[in-house]
Amino acid sequence: MEAAALKIEFHFIPPHAPTFGGLWEACVKSFKHHMRRIVGNNHLSAESFTTVLAQIEACLNSRPITPLSSDPNDLQALTPGHFLIGRPLLTVPEPNLEIPENRLDNWQKIQRITQHFWKRWHEEYLSTLQTRYKWTTMNPNLLNGSIVLIRDDNLPIGRWSMGRVVATHPGQDGLIRVATVKLPNSVNLIKRPITKLCPLPIEIDPVTAADQPTAIPQ
């Protein structure tokens, strides 16, 4: 109903043709890769396994894809959750469960499995947003106004630290290594090295990009 109200039309790939969906099939491959290693030899009941899959599904569908608008005051990003329920998916934070497994009840074991998945998959997804080349190849500089994800190892499941670049700080060679980022719903500004910032894919004006100096590889 939400998609119909926005006049969104879905075009599906043919049945039994997963190779047609390279982008999302890569996400499925990533899920299977981490799922096998995290669940391992744990014996889960049907209900517990269903709960784990539902929570992991929420993790995958919470990922930011692209900025929602070019408004400099809008720091929201489009997520798969917008296509499902019309808004980002939210989860209830759970305490860190890095304690011996024999001290955990069934629900806590499920949460620890989900936390381990989130930690591994979250880091892998952020890495895909930072294209890494050999030192012989130069990257375009980070542009003012870009929405970025900020690397933070202590975020709870389904939460993403986002901000908008308001200033860049090039070195003497003109290459940007540090940026000032504005956080959402806050007047505070933070500085981070570009290795801790993951720009969301956006369409950049080639004329504007041509005027920018070149950045060092990350």
pLDDT in tens, 123-180: 888 888 876 655 556 667 788 888 899 998 888 888 899 999 999 998 888 888 899 9
Question: How much is the pTM?
Answer: 0.76
Rounded to whole angstroms, the Cα distance separating 171 from 101 reads: 49
- Which of 16, 56, 62 minimizes the C-alpha distance to 32? 56
The residues spanned by each domain of the chain are: 2-128, 139-215
pLDDT value of position 69: 79
Rounded to whole angstroms, the Cα distance separating 90 from 158 reads: 7
Rounded to whole angstroms, the Cα distance separating 63 from 52 reads: 18
The sign of the dihedral angle between the CA atoms of 121, 122, 128, 134 is negative
Exposed/middle/buried for residue 145 (C-beta within 10 Å: 0-12, 13-18, 19+)? middle
CA 150 to the chain's CA centroid: 10
| Structural class in CATH, domain 139-215 | mainly beta
pLDDT digits (tens, 9 = 90+) for 44-82: 899 999 999 999 999 999 999 888 877 777 888 889 888
